Amino acid sequence: MTALQRLFKFHGGVKPAYNKEASTGLPIAVAPTSTRLVIPLHQSIGGMPRPMVAAGERVLKGQRIGGADGNVSSAVHASTSGTVVAVEMRLMPHTSGLSALCVVIEPDGRDEWIPRQPFDFRSATPTQTRDYLRDAGVVGLGGAVFPSYLKLNPGKQGKLDTLVLNGAECEPFITCDDLLMRERAATILDGAAIMREMLAAGQVLIGIEDNKPEAIAAMEIAARAANAAAREDAFKVVSVPTRYPAGGAKQLMRVLTGIEVPHGKRSTDYGLQCFNVGTAYAIYEAIALGQPLISRIVTVAGNVGKARNYEVLLGTPMRDIIALCGPLPDSDRVIMGGPMMGLLMPDDSVPVVKAANCVLVGSKKLFPPPPPEMPCIRCGECAKACPSDLQPFEMYWFSRAKIFGKAQEYNLFDCIECGCCAYVCPSRIPLVDYYRFAKSEIWARETEKEAADVARERYEFRLLREEREKQEKAAKLAAKTAAGREKAAVALAEAEKPAVTPEQDAKKALIAAALERARAQKEQAHPENVSNLTPEQQAEIAAIEARRAEIREMAKPHLRQDD
């Protein structure tokens, strides 16, 4: 029996056809290693990891090939042993069709691991444990791929009331979490126990949609064992109603606890944190086995003959695992993720990455072309279906008119892009596409603004530095001038002192004779260019000499007035 837990409703949601039966008939299989693995360095939210290997280098399975860069980043590892044949730009699994830096590995067939050992997180500080998980490359495997080490922080209170494990998996066709819970429930809860200890959480609620009875049963058995081992009743499996998008983190926390995390707030401020069940499994492997994240469970479904779940090495070309399932002849597209939130791939050669919970093969029969877009009639159906309590039609108007500031005022960035609004829209408007366009434009403008701010700050700093250097030079010149004047005054005072010894008299006589000779030579010297001058030129020279004499007099502040 599932735990008796009061459930709450979230606003909106839809009930599409789930199409999960085809891929749940067989257990998880291990996909064979491909002849080439293309591992993108950027596989999580945040900064791109820096490459740590070069072409020609041999790597071992689990060896770090990309180091985390920045506060929000996560490391990347070699999925098997082999030789790095290139570190170059390759096509990314994204609708844009853009390329990114990848490490291409040619496997040697040995599948040789790096030395592995468990990490004693109880003896380590929380920061050391989080750094270890960052370097192990553990990210959220529910699709968001947010670095997990950043979420393993209990927040200001130092503890949590509830740790939520997300086993809802609400999107159609996707069953990787369902099969994982059926087959590896005990390991998932071992990972949850580690997270619970790190977060000092009081209880662990495992939310699973009620259309997964086998997964619920398996997790209940594991939960009873975990509770018996801990001698408490901390782990609870809760069956939640099947309604898309119940698997959204905020929606699931709302259903299980009744707490609605407001916009701009962290769930830890309300004593909650949510992780996908696959993430809990990966954390256990990293902490207890010393294995970084190099593979994941992937559902291959859609227009294929044998839909199934595979454990796939990261970097495996999608076409290789599609071939295992027998794609049908009329297949015309590949989608990473489900039909509601998935991304259309540029082609089937792109690699499996940490975000690839499903590889969905499509066809015109399975996903007919949408009818032509009609004008918005402001019926409000999209607002009724929105699980985030937004007003999609208002965001649509402002996004379409490129009035992005107003779109933000309607909380555009609270949209989780679940697609419920577009699903119920009678005008068949691809609303989510408009929101994604608006978000990308806002991000681009923010990036440009940040770049302009940085350039302006650098320019102002340069002006400040130049002004400071100018003032320093003036101060040094003034100090040097003052020192020279002081030195001249001392020398003059010494010269005016009466001689007290015959040696000093002789020295003064020599100096006086030298000055007299210099004066005589100067008087005898007659520049050749001053002969045959006109009266006007002579007058001009006389005026110049007069000004020189005047300047010399002004340059003698050290002389006494009576001189």
Query: Is 415 labeled as ligand-binding?
Result: yes
Query: Is 421 labeled as ligand-binding?
Result: yes
Q: What is the DSSP letter of 61?
A: B
Q: Across the beta sheet with 358-363, what order do the strands follow?
A: 29-30, 308-313, 295-302, 358-363, 331-336, 343-344
Query: Is 170 labeled as ligand-binding?
Result: no
First to last CA, the chain: 116
The structure tokens 């990473």 sit at 336
Phi and psi at 432, nearest 5°, equal -65, -35
Beta strands per DSSP E along 432-563: none
Structure tokens at 71: 């506060």
Query: Is 379 labeled as ligand-binding?
Result: yes
Structure tokens at 284: 């256990």
Phi and psi at 288, nearest 5°, equal -85, -30
Q: Are 69 and 47 in contact (CB under 8 A)?
A: yes
Q: Which residues pair with 100 in a beta bridge?
A: 90
Instruction: Enumerate residues 6+ apart whose C-beta is below 8 A from 340.
Output: 16, 171, 172, 244, 245, 418, 419, 420, 423
Q: Are 220 and 5 in contact (CB under 8 A)?
A: no
3-state secondary structure of 186: helix
d(CA 332, CA 310): 22
Query: Is 358 labeled as ligand-binding?
Result: no
Q: Are 226 and 189 in contact (CB under 8 A)?
A: yes
Query: Is 420 labeled as ligand-binding?
Result: no
Q: Are 36 and 15 in contact (CB under 8 A)?
A: no
d(CA 215, CA 309): 15
The distance from CA 113 to its chain's CA centroid, rounded to whole angstroms, is: 28
Rg of the chain's alpha carbons, rounded to an integer?
39
The structure tokens 């050669």 sit at 349
Binding-site residues from annotation for [4Fe-4S] cluster: 376, 379, 382, 386, 415, 418, 421, 425
Binding positions: 376, 379, 382, 386, 415, 418, 421, 425
